[in-house]
Chains A and B, each alone.
Chain A
Amino acid sequence: MAGLSARPGSAGTQPSARSGGIWSPLARGQYAALVWMQSRIFVNSLRTVRGSFELGARVLTGFIFFAMAFGPAVGMGFAAWEGVAHSRRLAVAILLWVVCALWQFFSTLAPALAGQNPDLSYLLRFPVSFGSWIALYLAHGVAAPSTLIGLLWVLGIGIGVIAARPDLWLATAATLAIFALFNLLLSRAILAWVERWMAQRRTREIITAILLFLGLGAQAFNPAFHHYGNNLPGTLAHHESARISPRVWDVQAVFPPGLAANAIALPMQHRQSGALSLGGLALYTLTIGGLLALRLQSESRGENLSEAPRRLAPGKTQGRAILDLAGPVGAVFEKDLHYLLRSGPMLYALAAPLVLVFLFGSAFRIGNTSALRSAYALPLGIVWAFTGLTRLVNNSLGAEGPGIGFYYLSPTPLRAVILGKNALYGLLFGIEAILISGLVLFRFGIPAASVTAATAAWVLFAVPANFALGNTLSIAMPYRMSMTRMRNEPGALGNSLLSTLIQAATLGVGALVFIPCNAFGHPWLATPVLLALAAASAFAYLRVLANVDRMMQSHGESLLLEIAKTGPTG
């Protein structure tokens, strides 16, 4: 036992060393250790080509997100300056409502912008206090693109307000800081609670029912949107007149964006201090923070969200065949269908496009552009339908875990595995496309026959093209994917970036064919052109499928390493 001389409990591990504080010496040491650990993982990841690509993807997406966020931030700053300079409190309120709505929308329904909903369970074995747990959770939230975009916009508004009325700097800074904290906490609380509800069947069913009722309820907004929507610019410009009723103003003023707007607008109009509104906003923030803490407390105590089946009576076999497909292709199809039906986050991702079309479809019927939007509603809806499947198609092996080793051990050709997966995704896409088409027809009416035919031809082109490229990406750039947690995994960014490019490319091909044909008065010409492209993409798909075994063998080591690995991260 040479060298190992320490006695149990020695050197800084005595119970008397209290360690509960969020800023205690132990907590500070732990933060430093975590930052150091992440930096080492980052540096070590650069040893591989894939790691370098991931870094490049990160820089590129960071630049894209910044470019996307900076323009609106400038616009919001200008609008805030304009609104405050002319004492239009509604302008400030609308800006804050927009920021709040988009911040939450990006955080919950746009996975690329939501960032990681961190899985901190790897910290459970360490003496990490609950306060530190919350701080680490929120630190991940601050680093999310949706938060950075929201903060940039809030900063833009703040600069606009203070530029117009420098005397309001203190009220504006305090209000917007609390407003930003509220949005951060709300977005993280929604993610944390939705993940909790989606993890178990009963709560999943309840939340689905609630979403359905919300969707139906949202239909009531349609007439209101039409009423105000046709004159929206005028409404904004003359809000103090009778166009927005005082009741609407009063109602919105009790919600956080309205309270924040009041906290800035009341001193702006020299009415009162706005402290009451600021207090209300702080109360909302504390309440949401409490709800988040409630959720995180369960996580920090080692909650397990798995759904274990009840114990079966002796002699009974578990499970029943869903479709009872024969052969290995059917077996993979059925196994992945079981996975999917037990995965709340995946079902959520599949349902999100439908929910969005259902909820917000009416928003695209504003004003004189209705006819144009109606013409393209079907193809856009179909494209949108595919987004729910993107993660699965482009990382089809990511959820296999250690089970991926079985594919290599079994006598089944690996292309049968991929074919089984593609068959399932094809079926899911078909169902999703039919449902979205139904919604689109219900909302926008029947599109022109030429558009319908071209859309069908485009689907025949896009599906095999996406599958061919998705299969290649799944093998060459896989990442471990959780089916039970709503979060982006380490290593997912490069894959996600390429997935987006594939989506954009297939959509771009469709647009490049259809729009010129339509512009030159020959919309029917698009269909045969797209059918020819469909034949080419089907050929490409078959070629990829024929090469799957060779590709999976040559990438075997990295696939097993990446997908089958266990443990907390990387």
Chain B
Amino acid sequence: MDAPAIATRDLTRRFGQFTAVDNLTFSVAQGQFFGFLGPNGAGKSTTIRMLTGLLAPTSGQVQLLGFDFAAHPIEIKRQIGVVPEGLALFGRLTASEYLRFVGRMYGLDRETTNRRTGELLDFMNLADEPKKLATDFSHGMQKKLALAAAVIHGPRVLFLDEPFEGVDAIAAGTLKAMLQRMTERGATIFLTSHVLEIVERLCSHVAIIHQGRLVANGSLDELRTGVALAGDQASEKLTLEEIFLRVVGGAGPEAKAEAVPELSWLA
């Protein structure tokens, strides 16, 4: 049996006295399209940063593709791709220069790098303005460039932090198709997004984090069943948004709206 693509055990990150991620234990099987959800400040980005080696955990363990991250950081980094929260582009490079740089940093030979750079630029519709610097791109174009850089080395695990934010509908559709194709070929995708419809459509499994703790984890059907049993409701009718709202607080959108104190000074 294949080792899980991602496995954490008691993963914890503290900043001073603030615990951003608290004893997180979960695993993601290879080939899964995995959605990682949570309200703002729940610890999603901190978790992704720890899973990708951008941030050291305070305690706990991360394994990717069966390797312990702390013991084999380089081997693991060669197998993963990341679209981080801040995109981490080199603004004063052109798209082509940036992709060629990233390819070489991952150890691809020059020929492969150049070929894949051309293919990715065409695929992402970024080839029209070869002289334009990344810093002059629109946010959506920067996002596509960051995604191209994350996949140029053919990663086996791809981490995406809000990948579709600011991307137009046509490009988003193309990207989603590309990501689904990747999972069909065996890649694992770890996705965070606040757009729950996208997660519901793309992901087979979902975990929900709230105040640094894992509060739900399983396939969408498992989550529906769990929430339905707790709320005495037919499971097939529950959307991911309803599941999310029930799990992180409040009984549903109506209850949530009622709980918000009235801001009488608003027009």
Q: Is the CB of A41 within 8 A of B78?
A: no
11 contacts between A and B (CB under 8 A): A6-B154, A15-B78, A20-B74, A26-B107, A29-B104, A44-B93, A125-B53, A125-B88, A565-B135, A570-B90, A570-B92
Contact string against B for A residues 31-67, beta-carbon threshold 8 Å, 1 for contact and 0 otherwise: 0111011001100110000000000000000000000
Chain A interface size, as a band, is: 35 or more
Verify B120–A4 contact, CB threshold 8 A.
yes
Verify B54–A4 contact, CB threshold 8 A.
no
Instruction: Give CA–CA (A306, B65) in the complex, Å.
Output: 30
CA distance A30 to B102 in the complex (A): 9
CA distance A566 to B84 in the complex (A): 12
Q: Which of B180-188, B202-210, B222-230 contacts A (4 or more CB under 8 A)?
A: B180-188
Q: Are A125 and B77 in contact (CB under 8 A)?
A: yes
Task: Please tell me if the beta carbons of B156 and A8 are within 8 angstroms of each other in the complex.
Answer: yes
Find chain B residues with CB under 8 A from A33 CB: 101, 104-105
Q: Is the CB of B105 within 8 A of A126?
A: yes
**Interface set, chain B 94-123, CB cutoff 8 A to A:** 94, 97, 101-102, 104-109, 112, 116, 119-120, 122-123
Question: Nearest CB to that of B20 among chain A residues?
Answer: A308
| Main SS class of interface, A | loop
Q: Which stretch in B10-18, B213-221, B232-240 binds the other chain?
A: B10-18
B40 to chain A, nearest CB (A): 14
A567 touches which of B54, B79, B90 (Cβ 8 Å): B90
Given the known interface contacts A15-B79, A41-B90, A570-B91, the answer about A302 and B53 at a Cβ–Cβ threshold of 8 Å is yes
- Interfacial chain A residues near B109, Cβ < 8 Å: 11-12
Chain A residues in 8 Å Cβ range of B91: 565, 567, 569-570
Say whether A36 contacts B101, CB under 8 Å: yes
C-alpha spacing A199/B119, complex, angstroms? 43
Question: How many B residues have CB within 8 A of the partner chain?
Answer: 60
Say whether, besides A36-B101, A310-B16, A13 and B107 are in contact (CB < 8 Å): yes
User: Which chain A residue lies CB-closest to B65?
Assistant: A15
Known contacts A15-B78, A308-B20, A310-B17; A302/B92 CB under 8 A: no
Residues of B within 8 A of A11 (CB): 108-109, 112, 153-154
**In the complex, A36 Cα to B100 Cα: how many Å?**
10
Q: Is the pair B18, A309 in contact by a Cβ cutoff of 8 Å?
A: yes
Report how far A298 CA is from B55 CA in the complex, Å: 10
Q: Say yes or no: B112 contacts A12, CB within 8 Å.
A: yes
**A233 CB-CB contact with B under 8 Å:** no
CB < 8 Å: which of A17, A124, A307 contacts B16? A307
Asked if B116 and A6 sit within 8 Å, CB to CB, the answer is yes
Of the residues A15, A127, A310, contact of B18 by C-beta under 8 Å = A310
Besides A1-B178, A13-B78, A13-B155, 14 new A-B residue pairs in contact (Cβ under 8 A), listed by A number: A4-B119, A11-B153, A12-B107, A19-B107, A33-B105, A41-B90, A44-B92, A301-B56, A301-B73, A303-B56, A304-B15, A311-B18, A565-B135, A566-B87
Using Cβ atoms and an 8 Å threshold, which residues of chain A touch B122?
A: 3
- B26 contacts across to A, CB distance below 8 A: none
Residue of A nearest to B119 (CB): A3
Smallest Cβ-Cβ distance to A566: which chain B residue: B86
Answer yes or no: A128 CB below 8 A from chain B CBs. Answer: yes
Q: Give me the 7 closest cross-chain CB pairs, A-B, nearest first.
A: A308-B15, A33-B104, A570-B92, A127-B77, A310-B17, A8-B187, A3-B119
Q: Is B52 an interface residue (CB 8 A)?
A: yes
A128→B219 CA distance, assembly (Å): 35
| 0/1 interface trace, chain B 116-132, chain A, CB 8 Å (1 if under) | 10011011000000000
| Residues of B bordering A, CB below 8 Å | 15-18, 20, 49-50, 52-56, 65, 67, 70, 73-75, 77-79, 82, 84, 86-94, 97, 101-102, 104-109, 112, 116, 119-120, 122-123, 133, 135, 153-156, 177-178, 181-182, 185-187
Q: Chain B nearest CB: distance from A342 CB in Å?
A: 12
Given contacts A4-B119, A29-B107, A30-B104, contact A568 B90 (CB under 8 A): yes
Query: Considering residues B88, B106, B135, which has the most beta carbons from chain A within 10 angstroms of its beta carbon?
Result: B106
Specify which chain B residues have a CB less than 8 angstroms from the CB of A29 in the assembled complex: 104-105, 107
Minimum C-beta distance from A420 to chain B (A): 27
Closest chain-A Cβ to B16's Cβ sits at a distance in Å of 5
**Minimum distance in angstroms from B58 CB to a CB of chain A:** 10
Which chain A residues border B77 with CB–CB below 8 Å? 125-128
User: Which chain A residue shows the least CB distance to B105?
Assistant: A126
Docked complex Cα distance between A128 and B106 (Å): 9
Contact (A41, B155) CB under 8 Å given A15-B75, A30-B104, A127-B107: no
Inter-chain contacts of B87 with A (CB < 8 A): 566-567
CA distance A4 to B182 in the complex (A): 10
Q: CB-CB < 8 A to A307: which residues of B?
A: 15-16
- Bitwise interface map of A from 103 to 143 toward B, beta carbon under 8 Å scored 1, else 0: 00000000000000000011011111100000000000000
Contacts of B84 in A (CB 8 A): 125
- Tell me which residues across on chain B come within 8 A of A20, comparing CB atoms: 74
Structural contact, A122 and B88, CB atoms closer than 8 A: yes
The answer on a CB contact under 8 Å between A19 and B88 is no
Residues in A neighbouring B177, C-beta threshold 8 A: 1
Q: Is A561 an interface residue (CB 8 A)?
A: yes
Task: Give the CA-CA distance A309 to B14 in the complex, in Å.
Answer: 11
Nearest-Cβ distance from residue B12 to partner chain A, whole angstroms: 14
- Find A126's partner among B75, B106, B178 (CB 8 Å cutoff): B106
Contact A10 B15 (CB under 8 A): no
Give the Cβ gap from B135 to chain A, nearest Cβ, in Å.
Answer: 6
In the complex formed, the residue of B with least CB distance to A491 is B92
Chain A residues whose C-beta falls within 8 Å of the C-beta of B92 in the assembled complex: 40-41, 44-45, 569-570
| A8–B182 CB distance below 8 A | yes
Answer yes or no: A9 CB below 8 A from chain B CBs. yes
Q: Of all chain A residues, which has the CB nearest B66?
A: A15
In the assembly, what is the distance between CA of A271 and CA of B88, in Å?
59
User: Do B154 and A13 have beta carbons less than 8 Å apart?
Assistant: yes
Contact: B56 with A30, CB < 8 Å? Answer: no
Kindly state whether residue A7 has any CB partner on chain B within 8 Å: yes
A8 near B75 with CB under 8 A, answer no
Complex contact A41–B93 (CB within 8 A): yes
Docked Cα-Cα span, A6 to B112, in Å, equals 10
B102 surroundings in chain A (CB, below 8 A): 126
Complexed CA–CA distance, A2 and B174 (Å): 11
Tell me the minimal C-beta distance from A4 to chain B in angstroms.
Answer: 6
Residues of B within 8 A of A303 (CB): 55-56
Are A304 and B55 in touch, CB under 8 angstroms?
Answer: yes
Neighbouring A residues of B97 by C-beta, 8 Å: 37, 40, 44
- CB-based contact B93/A37 at 8 Å: yes
- Report chain A residues within 8 Å CB of B17: 310-311
For B182, what are the chain A residues with a Cβ–Cβ distance below 8 Å?
A: 8
Given A6-B116, A9-B155, A567 contacting B20 (CB threshold 8 A): no
CB distance from B190 to the nearest CB of A (A): 14
Q: Complex: how many Å from CA A569 to CA B88?
A: 9
- In chain B, what residue has the closest Cβ to A27? B107
| A127 contact set on B, CB distance < 8 A | 73-75, 77-78, 105-107
Q: From the candidates A4, A9, A301, A565, name the one contacting B79 in the complex (CB within 8 A).
A: A9
CB <8 Å contact, A306 and B88: no
Q: Which of B67, B91, B94 has the most CB of A within 10 A?
A: B91
Tell me if B52 and A125 are in contact (CB < 8 A).
yes
How far, in whole Å, are A36 and B105 apart by their CA atoms in the complex? Answer: 11
Residues 307-356 (chain A) with a chain B CB within 8 angstroms: 307-311
Contacts of B105 in A (CB 8 A): 29-30, 33-34, 126-128
Q: Contact: B86 with A129, CB < 8 Å? A: no
